[in-house]
Amino acid sequence: MQLISPVSLAIILLTALCSNAQVIKVKRKGVQPVNVTKPVRGSVYSLEQFNGKWQESSRRDRTSNSSVNFEDTLFFIFSGNNDVYTRDGINLSIKGKADLQPGNILSTGADEFIIKSLDKTKAILDDGDKYLHTIVKKKSFWYETLPTDSVAPEKFTTPVEVNYANIAGKWTVYRREAKPGNTSNDKPLLKTLNIENNNNAVNGEVTFYLAEKTETVPCNIVLQGTKINIVTSKHSWLMDVYKADKNEFIFGTPELMYYCKTM
């Protein structure tokens, strides 16, 4: 019987191992590796469906499906030639190439998501790590309507009377103007305000910062002439209103002013 040399035996074993090996595509931290040797179903979506501007509207925990507060809002602009612009909250913007991979995986150049659902106005993206991101299609992003640095900000010194019709809706604070020493960590700072149209007291919802934490709680909102009173179970804000024209809502005190836009 002919004996096999050690070198030949090693080559045979190596060939057998390679033929049975599985190729693993490693994803980013926190995401399970994907076995790309196994057949996967092709994407049922197309990049053309994403053309336009998309803004994150809500975020849920992918394990518990509970709502999550967030500050790093995702913004996407998909355009021709598979170009995609990504902005992650206040972080640097990233330009890259969009791509659809088997398994309905959307690559934005900055990150990868599993498309859970998609229609003409809304998509749900699974980041494969912690969250489900709901993004909605927009004609323009809210921050694109904000005043530029080249325009001197309007000064507000005289409070105005306001009615519920002019302040109904969802508002986000895009700028705070405070005197030095009036934004300490023990004072809650408003972030968003949801106001329903009602001729009486309104049961709304307010989101605020306190001690580097964000809370969203129910609130009662009452208009008193030129003043707005926002009351929760633990906190309250009584402030003068300086502008309310359905597009911009400005209110505050001599120490701290809030500038809001509709969401």
Check: CATH 1.20.120.160 for 157-262? no
Give CA–CA dist 218/123, Å, rounded.
28
Q: Give the domain ranges of the chain.
A: 34-141, 157-262
- The domain defined by 34-141 folds into Lipocalin (2.40.128)
pLDDT for 237 equals: 94
Instruction: Give how far Cα 138 sits from Cα of 10, 61, 70, 143, Å.
Output: 61, 24, 19, 12
Residue 176, CB half-sphere, CA atoms under 13 Å: how many? 17
**Phi, psi angle pair for 225, to nearest 5°:** 70, -110
Query: With contact defined as beta carbons under 8 Å apart, do 25 and 34 qualify?
Result: yes
Give CA–CA dist 60/131, Å, rounded.
6
Residue pLDDT tens, the chain, 263 long = 455 555 454 444 444 443 443 333 334 444 444 443 333 345 689 999 999 999 999 999 999 999 888 877 888 999 878 888 888 765 557 788 888 888 899 988 768 899 999 999 999 999 988 899 999 999 888 777 666 554 455 678 899 998 888 898 899 888 888 766 555 557 888 989 998 866 555 778 999 888 768 889 999 988 889 999 999 999 999 999 999 988 899 999 988 899 898 87
User: What CA dihedral angle connects 119, 121, 126 and 131, to 10 degrees?
Assistant: -150
- Please indicate whether the domains covering 34-141 and 157-262 agree at the CATH topology level: yes
pLDDT for 184 equals: 55
